[in-house]
Structure 1
Amino acid sequence: MSLFDDVSRFLESRLDEFMRNNPHLELQVLEEQLREQEEDALKLIAESQLKEKQLQDQILSTAQEIQRWHERISKARQAGRDDLKRAAEEREAALLRQGNQLWGQMQGVKDRIAKARELQRQIQVRRQEVRAKATEAAASRAKAEAQNSQSTQSSQSSWDTGWNQNYRTFSSSMDPLEQEFQRWETDDELEQMKRNMGR
């Protein structure tokens, strides 16, 4: 059956490949594909159950026909009508063959329903795995983004801190250049004052 083949191939190869190679980009698409596959499996189950019911009805109808022809065989035998008895026996044998064919078909449909249910169960398990992987991938991405953001803030903060520390260092009285400028500015002011007083 093509649906079973397609889904089995899909589950065995594509899913594992997707999950390995695309941990977050393909997970949503993958879950959607699995959802569609599950819908197909459910549709197949519903169609097969309908077919099973039709076959059951046909088997019941055939069984009633077999019983009717069996009674006719008895009547023909009691009446001494060998010609009718033989014809009724042939009809009964044909109905029995038909009933066996219908029974075989019904067993095939039951097997198909069992396989479709197992397939649906596997798809549900895979969907849960994909959902878990998607949640995990989203959490990893959020964590990575948070760390990246924190790292950016941290480097900005350390740059600010470094600049501020350097600024504080340069503005402190221990800075030799600062001291030299202060002496020069003080001397310059004194010279300026002397010139003003000399006038």
Structure 2
Amino acid sequence: MADETAGRFRAGETALVAVVEEAEPVAGPWRRRFDSFASVGVPAHVTVLVPFLDIERIDSGVMDDLRALVGEHDPFTVRFEGCRRFPGVLYLAPTPDQPFRALTEAVAARWPEAPPYGGQFADVVPHLTVAHGQEGHVLDEVEAALATRLPVTADVGSVSLFVCDGDRWHRHADFSLLGLPAARPGSSS
């Protein structure tokens, strides 16, 4: 699996993700077999924004802005009740997905130079990847096995910044969802 990821990542790449620890017991064994991101340090997650800014651009001002922007959003509970697919990808679909969409839209609006997935997709669909790059019959087998272990319920209370060193991804910082009102220009905090 490591060979699949060789040369795939660039040192300094970053991603903003909502880690879903509650999904690891169910999805983890399949992710370790069929999701190359699991072998390079990426836990079960729903992506908020990838690629984000290169790490060289993430200074204390960006960190403060992320803390404030993510902090405006309320923590939420999500359920993964079933599987869905993109071509060659099996994923768990979150319900509701709107809180993830709102986070992605907010971060992308603040940093328009970092569109979700590099601007590849018109509609960004929140998802927790379980398997990719596999034949349909493998995805069918994984989906059938997962169906007996769902639903998974998770509390999402933060967004994590992950950074790649060229080979592996590492958690760099966490930003809490606090439901705080947006700071208004000219107001004192």
TM-score, normalised by the number of residues in structure 2: 0.20
Q: Which has the higher strand share?
A: 2
Which structure shows the bigger proportion of residues in helix conformation? 1
